[in-house]
Amino acid sequence: MLVAAVFVAVSYFYYERNQRAQAAQLSVELKDFIFPTIPETTDARALRVAYAAVLNRLDPIFGMEGTDPDKLGESVDNLAVSVSRVASLYTGSGKDLIERVWHPIQFLKDIAAAERARQELITSPSSEDAHTYYRLLGNAIDSASTYAATLADVFRTNGAFSKHTVTFIGGLSTPPLFAAALEDYRTSLADKKRQLLVREACLDDYSEKCPSLENAFAALTASSTMSFDESHPPVPQIVRENAEIVRLNYSAASGMVRGTPGPLIVLNDSPCFTNTPTSYYQSWIAGTERQKSFALYYVNDLFFYDAKTFNGPHVTPQVKKEIPYLYQPAANLYLCPVSGDDLTRAITLDTLYPLLAGGAPASSGDMLYEADIISSVEKLKTRLIVGEKVLAQEIGEEKILVMERILHIARERSPRFDEVIYDAISNNSLIEVLALRKEPISLSAVLMSRGYAPLFLLSYNTSVSEPLRLVTPSFFDTSDFRLVSYNDVLKMIYNRAEILAFMSRWRQVQYESQ
């Protein structure tokens, strides 16, 4: 008994000494950073929670700053309903594959739960909140990896996928290339899982092996290596005309695409249109306040299929006579598999504009230049680099947190992700229409062109991975897709009213019931 008592006393002595040492280390680690008041903050356990809150604010894994997790969860539920509806229109193995691997539903549900927990942890931290967040984040990483592995196996082994090269806008690809990109993504996830395990360990036992808050802050405020030029030439007149045609076309639409124009967004480049130095996009807001979608329409040029050479059961001789040219939005999620790069950049700019300008969201009369937004974000980094506590003495802690939120939105490129999902649901509606007409899109096209894996797996988010390399980049050539340019050809033949009539009638033919 005496020996046991001595052992317990000695163990407690060393435990208490270790806890005091951790508290001293954590006090030093936290002294330059903002964190919510936690009862008994000198206690090592409470300080470890504070450390976790600051670390996951400064350097989140799978961060989605600017996304409402509740709205995200609702949008994923609607995406799941959309998947079930489409799957019910296919049979056999096709139905099974659409249900299992078309979209990463479980991952999206898990990341919505994890982001909700992260936001709770950084605003009102507790030990329970921290453990819950890490558990949910682990679930999200695991479900992303499982989905990527399953989809990669389908691309490698399923007979529905041809082995020949597929030509997309932005580049060439094959099913094996898709599979390899997904395996690379899984390698990134394995690294994120290792980082998560380190953070979990630090929640119970802080040591010098734990990630440095100073390093996390330095990474957040590091100057971008991207070069940018704030001077920009006037918007070409043809771009303005094309944007007006797009606005008139979709303002007259019905269903999920009917909405209102957002700002004209000017991106420095595009992985889809690799031979165009500047890409102009008309942004489009559709849906209700609770189920809003954000879409982009490329307006450097407008592209049409020649109806005479277009294959499709619904393009009858009468349709070809009535609509000689069929409008095809070029920068959509299925013609260019890497168009999610442009979409996430654009919605990020649209989200950052009111935060940087301190005013209302951008409207249809505004123009958002990527170079301008990048420049403004870089200026915030310059202000923050002195440190949170130092700058807070000048402008207050609340403004510091707003500035850092802007940096995270710019860095993670995943704001308002529910609106991205509703855009995908809108894009997928044509699959359902064609299947109901007994003209189903092939299974390979559904999974390769309309699965949106790079976008839905958050591969454009630097807190997750590098973008999935699904294609071998190539110059955009309209002849590869049998597309006819409005700028170079159709504008010389038809007036604007005629072009709008073609666009309106083609939309009716595509979506009207047969």
- C-alpha to C-alpha distance for 252 and 395, rounded to whole angstroms: 47
- Regarding predicted confidence, which is higher, 67 or 448? 67
Burial class (CB in 10 A: 0-12, 13-18, 19+), 308: exposed
Helix (H) or strand (E) holding 8: helix 2-30
With helix as H, strand as E and coil as C, how does 259-270 read?
EEEEEEEEECCC
Percent of the chain scoring above 70 in pLDDT: 94
Contacts of 175 (CB under 8 A, 6+ apart): 155, 156, 161, 162, 163, 444, 448
Residue 75 clears pLDDT 80, i.e. is over it? yes
Among 1-15, 197-211, 373-387, the least confident range: 1-15
Summary mean pLDDT of the chain: 91
Residue 426 clears pLDDT 80, i.e. is over it? yes
Identify any residues that bridge with 293 across adjacent strands, giving them in sequence order.
Answer: 286
Q: For residue 116, what are its two tokens?
A: 């909700």
Q: What is the dihedral of CA 401, 131, 217, 396, to 10 degrees?
A: 20
DSSP 409: H
Residue keyed to tokens 């454009």: 460
What's the confidence (pLDDT) of residue 27?
Answer: 92
Is residue 370 within 8 A of residue 350, CB to CB? The reply is no
Residue ranges in 127-174 assigned as alpha helix (H)? 127-157
- C-alpha to C-alpha distance for 421 and 108, rounded to whole angstroms: 10
Identify any residues that bridge with 306 across adjacent strands, giving them in sequence order.
Answer: 325
- C-alpha to C-alpha distance for 44 and 55, rounded to whole angstroms: 16
pLDDT digits (tens, 9 = 90+) for 169-213: 888 899 999 999 999 999 999 999 999 999 999 999 999 999 999
Among 14-23, 77-86, 295-304, 423-432, the least confident range: 14-23
Residue keyed to tokens 């092939």: 442
Domain boundaries in the chain? 1-53
Residue keyed to tokens 């979409």: 343
Biggest CA pair distance of the chain = 102
What's the confidence (pLDDT) of residue 72?
Answer: 98
Band (281; pLDDT cuts 50, 70, 90) = very high
Q: Which residues of 5-44 are buried (b: 16+ CB within 10 A; e: fewer)?
A: eeeeeeeeeeeeeebeebbebbeebbeebbbeebeebeeb
Among 9-13, 391-395, 400-404, the least confident range: 9-13
- C-alpha to C-alpha distance for 277 and 236, rounded to whole angstroms: 13
- Regarding predicted confidence, which is higher, 14 or 32? 32
Identify any residues that bridge with 368 across adjacent strands, giving them in sequence order.
Answer: 265
Residue 491 clears pLDDT 50, i.e. is over it? yes
Strand order across the beta sheet in which 472-473 lies: 166-168, 171-173, 472-473
pLDDT digits (tens, 9 = 90+) for 217-270: 999 999 877 666 667 888 999 999 999 999 999 988 766 567 899 999 999 999
Residue 14 clears pLDDT 70, i.e. is over it? no
pTM: 0.93
Residue 435 clears pLDDT 70, i.e. is over it? yes
Residue 356 clears pLDDT 80, i.e. is over it? yes
Is residue 296 within 8 A of residue 343, CB to CB? The reply is yes
Q: How many CB atoms lie within 10 A of CB 96?
A: 12
Residue 484 clears pLDDT 90, i.e. is over it? yes
- Regarding predicted confidence, which is higher, 167 or 245? 245
Band (7; pLDDT cuts 50, 70, 90) = very low
Residue 478 clears pLDDT 80, i.e. is over it? no
The whole-number average pLDDT for the span 115-128 is 96
Q: What is the dihedral of CA 309, 310, 313, 317, to 10 degrees?
A: -50
Secondary structure (3-state) at 364: coil
Is residue 72 within 8 A of residue 112, CB to CB? The reply is yes
Band (514; pLDDT cuts 50, 70, 90) = very low
What's the confidence (pLDDT) of residue 254?
Answer: 65
With helix as H, strand as E and coil as C, how does 161-207 read?
CCCCCEEECCEEECHHHHHHHHHHHHHHHHHHHHHHHHHHHHHHCCC
What's the confidence (pLDDT) of residue 158?
Answer: 87
Strand order across the beta sheet in which 279-287 lies: 292-298, 279-287, 259-267, 367-369
Q: Which residues of 243-282 are buried (b: 16+ CB within 10 A; e: fewer)?
A: bebbbbbbeebeebbebebbbbbbbbebbbbeebebbbbb
* Pairs from 392-399 (Cβ < 8 Å, separation ≥ 24): 392/34, 397/34
Q: What is the dihedral of CA 91, 97, 98, 101, to 10 degrees?
A: 170
Give the E-state strand segments of 412-508 in sequence order: 472-473, 483-485
- Regarding predicted confidence, which is higher, 481 or 32? 32
pLDDT digits (tens, 9 = 90+) for 296-344: 999 999 999 999 988 877 888 898 999 999 999 988 888 888 999 999 9
Residue 4 clears pLDDT 60, i.e. is over it? no
Residue 366 clears pLDDT 80, i.e. is over it? yes
Q: For residue 87, what are its two tokens?
A: 């799957």
- C-alpha to C-alpha distance for 119 and 122, rounded to whole angstroms: 5
